[in-house]
Amino acid sequence: MKIVIEYVLIENFLINLMILKSVSLILKEKGRLFFLSAFLGACCTVVIPILYLSAIGSFLLQIGLVVWYVCISFKFKTLKKFMQIYLTYFVVTLLYGGACFYIESLFGLKSTILVLMIVVSMFLIVKFLTKKINRKKAVENFCFDVEIDDGGKRSQWKGFLDSGNLLFDPLTENPVCLINYKVFSSLFKEIQLEDILRKSDKVKSLKLAHYISFNTLNNTDKILVFQVDELKIGNRLVKQATLGLCLKSFNQAFGSDIILHNNFACANS
């Protein structure tokens, strides 16, 4: 019996700990005393069965214990924040419990090691997803609607405001916004990639077309820069804006096809 209790304690301690950490990740709330709360929760799991409570009594006790866990593990000043943490705890608990039940039913096994593996795997999945979602939200906060107008040709895209883009054109001293080839080809279909690489006469048809040095982490490249009639960034209109054609992909990293210059930080102000 001693071994069984130890297994129950270990299993429930880890489950409670992963649930609390998951709630902290999802709500971006800095928790405290997770280990104490998880240990107390594991002890309660061992004690509750010997109280011989009815189903309703056991359910009400569990609800009260969750209040205890939340109060120990998180700080909150309003009832709304408490309810947000409280309900998230229940949802995450159902998520973990459902995953354990499904995997155990699928393989027909009930093992402490299997439960621990499932719980750790679920936590890593939650951590990965929350990190990805938070990054996406952070990127979206710096994304603007961008419209390029040149010679009556218009093209609309999403632009990412990069504080690290401090590139200026030495010829005009204008800030340079970087675009990829997909944006470029939507405006200048007659100019092929080969023309740009070979610096053919077609490139000269662009306004103030010339090549400047562009420093990256690994090396220095030459990129084509040119001017367009108008560049609209959010609510801001820039006349005779300078664009630079970057042939390296940055869409995956920034989620957009245009890297805006740091000078346009107040584009929506």
What is the C-alpha separation between 68 and 207, in angstroms, rounded?
68
Domains in the chain, CATH or no CATH each: 2-140 (no CATH), 143-264 (2.40.70.10)
Q: By percentage, how much of the chain surpasses pLDDT 90? A: 8
Residue 228: which of 207, 200, 205, 251 has the closest Cα?
207
Distance between CA atoms of 10 and 43, rounded to whole angstroms? Answer: 10
Mean pLDDT of 124-130: 88
pTM of the model: 0.55
Decide: residue 210, CB within 10 A, 0-12 exposed, 13-18 middle, 19+ buried: middle
**What pLDDT score was predicted for residue 149?**
92
Residue 226 binned pLDDT confidence (cut-offs 50, 70, 90)? very high
Per-residue pLDDT at 1: 44
Q: Which of 37-46, 61-70, 184-193, 216-225 has the lowest mean pLDDT?
A: 216-225
Q: Which pLDDT belongs to residue 109? A: 62
What is the pLDDT, as a whole number, of residue 50? 76
Band of pLDDT at residue 107, cut at 50, 70 and 90: low
